[in-house]
Structures are given as structure tokens and as C-alpha cells.
Amino acid sequence: MDILNTFQIGGSALRAQSQRLNTISSNLANVETTSTPEGGPYKKKSVYFQSAPLSFKEELDGKMKNSMQGVAVTKIIEDNTAPRKVYNPSHPDAKEDGYVEMPNISVLEEMVDMMSATRSYQANVTSIKSAKRMALKALEIGR
């Protein structure tokens, strides 16, 4: 495996985890949003990953030999579960019965997902730094 492949794989993972963190942040920021431009409460979004070739050249090489795969975000899906209803007749978005439709977002689950994404991001940064150190040591040996 080429050292540049290591950087490309790590870079693709960093991009994917960064997008995951942004989506989680958006969910946390909108945990109390009861009205959106589309109508209704904010809907939780989830990120889905899939292995992906690093580049067109890598895909072409992969047809001839076993090539390395990176990771990519394939889709971001909105949660279609029913919003939770909270009784608050004084809220501006309350229905006639006094209930407000709130986003179905668990702050606890989002924080756990955020910790997981952060750890994954850190692990990929560590692998890139390790590959960089190995490349530098190889250059020192070659002197």
C-alpha cells in the first residue's frame, strides 16, 4: 500500500466524520424548533456511510487488483417518526387542544453520537499522523 493511499483513506474518513458532526450539531441546535419553512417541527437527520473508491484511477486499478477503499456519505435521511407532543397551551405553535408538536430528538442520543463521531475523527487524525511519522522515518533512513 502506498503512503498516499493512507492519507487519502484518512482524509475521506475525516470528511465523512466532519459531515456527521455537522449533522449532529444541526439536530442539537434545532431540538426545540417547532416551526420550519417546510411546516411542522424540525425533523432529525441521520448520516449514512458507504465504502467508496478513492479516485477514478483507484477504481480503474481496482478492476485489475484489490484496491483500497475510503468512506463517503451516501445520504442524509430525515427521520419520519411522529413528533412528540407536549402540552403547552400558551406556546404560539400550540394546536387547538393545547399540544405543541416538538422534534423527536433525544439530546442524550445526539450527545452519544457526537462523542462517537469525535472519537472516530480523532482516530483517523492519529492514523494520518502515524503514517506521516513513518514516511519521515523512511526518508531519514534513506539519507
- For the record, the C-alpha cell of 58 comes out as 483507484
Q: What does the mean pLDDT of the chain come to?
A: 88
Task: Dump pLDDT digits (tens) for 45-82.
Answer: 999 999 887 666 655 665 545 567 888 899 999 999 99
Confidence (pLDDT) at 1: 56
**Residue 57: partners with Cβ closer than 8 Å, 6 or more residues away:** none
Confidence (pLDDT) at 113: 96
Residue 73: which H helix or E strand, with range?
strand 69-78
Task: Report how many domains make up the chain.
Answer: 1
Instruction: Give the mean pLDDT of 86-111.
Output: 93
Which value, to the nearest 10 degrees, does the dihedral of the CA atoms of residues 45, 50, 56, 59 take? -170
Domain that holds residue 25: 3-141
Rounded distance between C-alpha atoms, residue 132 and residue 35, angstroms: 48
Instruction: Give the mean pLDDT of 128-143.
Output: 88
Whether the CB-CB separation of 70 and 49 falls below 8 Å is answered with no
